[in-house]
């Protein structure tokens, strides 16, 4: 089979595709022109209100993948070294790729990839790249555990997408422990670790919010209602699509078991909620109601992350008590059955029980 050589552009982005773990397909995503690659980021996609435009744009991205074992990142390999260098770059990067002509489909749910891929022969970066000092320092600290590297990177860069990429391509952790991490694992892992750290080290020590707050936002056939209750930390996501409900929650302490119902969206939501609470220096119980359109097809966890971020930018409606909140929700969202969301909420039940116990004690 003959091969093709092309000059292409990457955001940068590398996919580590879980195929037969610990064996993985790994390689860069690319576009044929510079400006498409430059716009290939959730922070840009969310500006387009038409999900079909985003889906069509993302399909222009292609991948060249090669099979590696998760531990191959510790060995000398020119392709993997170029991938690591590409990931550290903060600008859209030109590269030369050599790949086989026959395409195949690669589909990865958490990143929303559903694109053509090709067998990678080799590639190299065609220009000088710029690596920020804070990234360079953490990547080259071989005595820093992966968890600390994730926390430090996100704290310094505020870029969870870059942090996920650096973990995935084996650039974080103790020198002899570094491995390739499937993209979907790195997404959830970074969201979980960074938000959990905020809860344990900061948010749980902040004073409670003063009012009950409701935020509302609709995007991409999804409606998000976020409810904040004045209380110590608690968190819940309730999703509904058609007649199916998916629920995961935590009370007071971060969730220990994997959120197997809501999956990656749970951790992406929690990170954006903790960012919000950290910014206002408050804690609260937080419930997210997500009504998913019946014909909505997931484009990846990034939609949840960016949607929660946008929802919390809206002006909230304020209330003095939980009864006023539930009355408002029941009477103002006729398009969805909010009463079912409320009935299913473990956090609201716990909040009401908590208040009734306090009332009994101080009566």
More confident residue, 193 or 19: 193
pLDDT band at 355 (very low <50, low <70, confident <90, very high): low
User: Which tokens in the block code for residue 319?
Assistant: 């209330």
pLDDT band at 200 (very low <50, low <70, confident <90, very high): very high
pLDDT band at 361 (very low <50, low <70, confident <90, very high): very low
Of 193, 168, 178, 69, nearest to 113 (Cα)?
168
- Per-residue model confidence (pLDDT) at position 360: 43
- Per-residue model confidence (pLDDT) at position 101: 85
Q: Mean pLDDT for the chain?
A: 93
Question: Domain ranges in the chain?
Answer: 3-196, 209-361
- pLDDT, tens digit, 9 for 90 and up, residues 36-61: 999 999 988 988 888 889 989 999 99
Burial class (CB in 10 A: 0-12, 13-18, 19+), 210: exposed
Secondary structure class of 34 (helix, strand, coil): helix
DSSP string covering 288-341: EEEEEPTT-----HHHHHHHHHHHTTSPPEEESSHHHHHHHHHHH-TTTTHHHH
- pLDDT, tens digit, 9 for 90 and up, residues 322-353: 999 999 998 888 777 888 899 999 999 999 88
- Per-residue model confidence (pLDDT) at position 77: 96
Residues ≥6 apart with Cβ < 8 Å to 296 = 51, 220, 221, 222, 241
pLDDT at residue 144 tops 90: yes
pLDDT at residue 257 tops 60: yes
């Amino acid at each position: 089979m003959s091969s093709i050589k092309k000059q292409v552009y990457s955001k940068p982005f590398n996919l580590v595709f879980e195929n037969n773990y610990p064996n993985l397909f790994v390689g860069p995503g690319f576009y044929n022109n510079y400006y498409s690659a430059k716009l290939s980021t959730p922070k840009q996609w969310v500006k387009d209100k038409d999900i079909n435009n985003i889906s069509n744009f993302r399909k222009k991205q292609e991948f060249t993948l090669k099979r590696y074992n998760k531990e191959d990142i510790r060995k000398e390999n020119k392709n993997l070294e170029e991938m690591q260098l590409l990931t550290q770059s903060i600008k859209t990067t030109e590269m030369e790729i050599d790949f086989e002509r026959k395409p195949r489909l690669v589909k990865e749910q958490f990143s929303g990839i559903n694109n053509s891929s090709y067998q990678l022969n080799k590639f190299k970066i065609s220009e000088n790249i710029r690596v920020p000092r804070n990234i360079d320092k953490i990547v080259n600290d071989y005595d820093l555990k992966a968890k600390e590297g994730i926390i430090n990177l996100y704290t310094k860069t505020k870029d969870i997408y870059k942090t996920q990429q650096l973990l995935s391509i084996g650039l974080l952790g103790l020198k002899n422990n570094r491995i390739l991490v499937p993209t979907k694992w790195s997404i959830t892992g970074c969201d979980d670790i960074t938000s959990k750290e905020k809860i344990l080290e900061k948010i749980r020590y902040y004073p409670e919010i003063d009012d009950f707050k409701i935020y509302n936002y609709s995007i991409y056939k999804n409606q998000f209602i976020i409810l904040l209750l004045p209380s110590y930390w608690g968190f819940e996501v309730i999703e509904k699509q058609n007649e199916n409900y998916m629920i995961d929650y935590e009370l007071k302490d971060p969730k220990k078991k994997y959120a197997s119902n809501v999956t990656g969206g749970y951790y992406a939501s929690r990170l954006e909620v903790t960012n919000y609470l950290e910014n206002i220096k408050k804690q609260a119980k937080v419930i997210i109601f997500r009504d998913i359109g019946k014909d909505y097809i997931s484009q990846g966890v990034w939609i949840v992350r960016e949607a929660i971020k946008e929802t919390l930018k809206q002006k909230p409606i304020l209330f003095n008590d939980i009864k006023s909140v539930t009355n408002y929700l029941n009477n103002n969202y006729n398009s969805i059955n909010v009463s079912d969301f409320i009935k299913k909420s473990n956090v609201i039940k716990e909040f009401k029980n908590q208040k009734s116990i306090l009332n009994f004690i101080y009566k």
